[in-house]
Homo-oligomer: A and B are copies of this chain.
């Protein structure tokens, strides 16, 4: 098969620190094939397609591309627009006008849905188009794939943050509550365990959207840990829900913001952390209770990246092009874990991935619903990459007291 025409790359949804690796992977691989006549980039995702805001990526230098690959966030800019059938008709008019035959959209659940809609619209229009979803999301909530590019680096951020917080709280005592991104899936919050080493190390408690959140249990759990160790470090997902399934943050925010996908805005406010802090102070009478909302730091922090994530993000870009040309079908690139640790890449039908959400498996969550299991730790560890700095403690023996005998 030899579908001749241009390729188009776009990036959608929230950025990650490795999403540009995928873009550069697609671009550099696509340029090896003569049937791909040139490679365009759409600025601001599907918005840029409709507006024909394209740049000609074949006119980038190799050195600059490699610098961009290492730069966080979406170099092609992004969008939260979710195209309906009418929006897709506009897209096709543009694709046809520019003779674009290969469409690579890098994004999460919402973006895979977009690719799916676009590909169905292309079929209806009898327009020969390869539409490929290249996975990306720090939430790690795509189905079929073992994990998503972008997750591992964000997980490394959360790991490094909690490693430092644990040492900070050990030194000055008290209770710390860190609010981590994750609307429906708790993977990123669970990554707080990544550097746990000694038995007394935090995070001592982890609360996930997959389990009902009951504030009284939360306070009682913290009391138990604080009584034992003199400090307590807690990881809480921004998406925690009450037993009826209503997000806890919903009861806090007067003006709920929703994006075009119907998602509630949960980051960019410290409200949830402040509520939980107040509950602990009131319930336990501990004065030093602190909360941080990790917010946007965790998804784009310059220089906190997993080398495994970097490589896989590049790989899924290259594989997207290879599958598009070798298989001549549409799909989503998925990562499959083989052994401990290696991966294989596959092309999965869009209908199997689009718009679906993966949650943490039951085997990853402890029985009490307030921590993770060893199975999750084994799942997480290889993703975090190499060269985590040491977390050591002094081992010197105590000196015999003279006055306070």
Contacts and interface: CB of A to CB of B under 8 A. Distances in A.
B303 A399 contact: no
B395 A60 contact: yes
Contact of A395 (B54, B64, B300, B301): B64
A71 B393 contact: yes
Copies in the complex: 2
A394 B269 contact: no
A57 B390 CA distance: 19
A396 B393 CA distance: 50
A303 to B, nearest CB: 5
A270 B267 contact: no
A51 interface: yes
Given A73-B168, A297-B297, A399-B54, A390 B67 contact: yes
Interface string A337-357: 000000000000000000000
A102 to B, nearest CB: 15
B396 A171 contact: no
Contact of A71 (B15, B68, B167, B271): B167
A52 interface: yes
B161 A297 contact: yes
Contacts of A390: 67, 70-71
A75 B268 contact: no
A389 B399 CA distance: 45
Contacts of A78: 171-172
A60 B74 CA distance: 47
A292 B290 contact: no
In this complex, the interface size class of chain A, counting residues with CB under 8 Å from chain B, is 35 or more
A401 B303 CA distance: 37
A5 interface: no
A94 B394 contact: no
A68 B394 contact: yes
Contacts of A273: 269-270
Given A287-B257, A389-B302, A57 B297 contact: no
A295 interface: yes
B70 A389 contact: yes
A269 B268 contact: no
A236 interface: no
A296 B302 contact: no
A291 interface: yes
A165 interface: yes
A15 B269 CA distance: 26
B269 A71 contact: no
Contacts of A299: 164, 168
A392 B171 contact: no
A405 B198 CA distance: 64
B274 A397 contact: no
B303 A297 contact: no
Contacts of A297: 161, 164-165, 292, 294, 297
A269 to B, nearest CB: 6
B73 A171 contact: yes
Interface of A: 11, 14-15, 17, 40-41, 51-61, 64, 67-68, 70-80, 93-94, 97-98, 159-161, 163-165, 167-168, 170-172, 176, 195, 257, 267-271, 273-274, 277, 287, 289-297, 299-305, 388-399, 401-404
Given A57-B394, A270-B270, 14 more contacts: A52-B402, A52-B404, A55-B399, A56-B398, A60-B394, A60-B396, A64-B392, A67-B392, A68-B393, A68-B394, A75-B393, A98-B399, A161-B302, A271-B274
9 contacts: A14-B172, A61-B395, A71-B390, A72-B164, A78-B171, A164-B297, A270-B274, A297-B297, A303-B389
